[in-house]
Amino acid sequence: MVGLVAASSFYQPQRGTGNVEYTTLGNTGLEVSRLCLGCMSFGSSESREWILDEAESREIIERAIDLGINFFDTANVYSMGESERILGDVLADYDRDSQVVATKGYFQMDEDDPNSGGLSRKAIEQELDNSLDRLGMDTLDLLQIHRWDYDTPIEQTMRTLDDAVRRGKARYLGASSMWAHQFAEAQHVADREGLTPFSTMQNHYNLLYQEEEHEMLPLCEKQGVGVIPWSPLARGWLTRPHEESRSTTRGETDDYAHQHPYLEGGGREVNERVQELADEKGVKMAQIGLAWLFSDDRVDAPIVGTTSVEHLEDAVEALSIDLSDSDIEYLEEPYEPVRVSGHE
């Protein structure tokens, strides 16, 4: 990790009633599990072959709750709303107040309605209402913008998001992958206009893609912004040897995974070192990839998506794996800067 910093003052992991630890999300005061369950794989296989149906999705969500996970991330675009609906239906059987639910908006939801995407006032307001309806909730814990909207002034976006908070439809605001200067501009607008700032950044960060360390992570640390990385296992590239990347249904069909620069630069050697260290410690490659993120005090809760209960349990067990400084140095040594990816 380039310029790894000492433990931040707001990072205080606590052991929960299940098997996970809890930490404070940025400067929100919210206590969330150190693993966030990503819900992109819940919905309908008609969307993508590896997406789970409702019954299989329910099994994973319920097991996550059993393990002590209280943080869930979805998006309106995941299976075109089905992910939100399934998550909401499952959580309705539990204590809503004990869960922290996040969703995202930006991508167009209806090809016949150009205003169903983007970050205009109309798009944000109507799509937030649609998300709340599918989730069966009156208030969202964390409302995130999925990407930067180049067609809408950031002042309009931030004021609309602030209105959502003031109207009680969202408690906190977050952003996802963008350039650090864009995130800084949005935060400046919020400060200048007396609006609600972003409390979280959901960025693209893992052992095979460390470009966020140059600007975004230092900015988030300076502002007390919670970091919840997506694709912590590089869309599967950190779960198996690189030569076996297409050995699963998702590996075969997820073309997006092959568009990222995961194996550019020293990526192959990083992958091989993850395998070597996993064998040495008697754990799985995915657990080493997650343990590396858990060792970074700038990261609050990686967003882990899964299609099996076993992999979910493996992810939780990774919390107990301690990597030494020499382990971390060994894993990072082959890494070379690669092209920026994930802002699209």
At 206 the three-state DSSP class reads strand
The 8-class DSSP code of residue 52 comes to B
Q: What is the rounded CA–CA span in Å between residue 67 and residue 57?
A: 16
Q: What is the rounded CA–CA span in Å between residue 274 and residue 249?
A: 22
Q: What is the rounded CA–CA span in Å between residue 241 and residue 272?
A: 7
**Starting from the edge strand earliest in sequence, which strands make up the sheet with 31-33, in order?**
14-15, 21-24, 31-33
Alpha helices in 26-117 (DSSP H): 54-67, 82-91
Catalytic residue among 78, 172, 209, 262: 78
Task: Look up residue 173 and give its two tokens.
Answer: 């605001």
Under 8 Å between Cβ of 149 and 106: yes
Rounded alpha-carbon distances, angstroms, from residue 124 to 85, 109, 157, 300: 18, 12, 8, 26
Q: Is residue 78 annotated as a catalytic residue, yes or no?
A: yes
Q: What is the rounded CA–CA span in Å between residue 294 and residue 188?
A: 30
Residue 110: other Cβ atoms inside 10 A: 12
Catalytic residues: 78
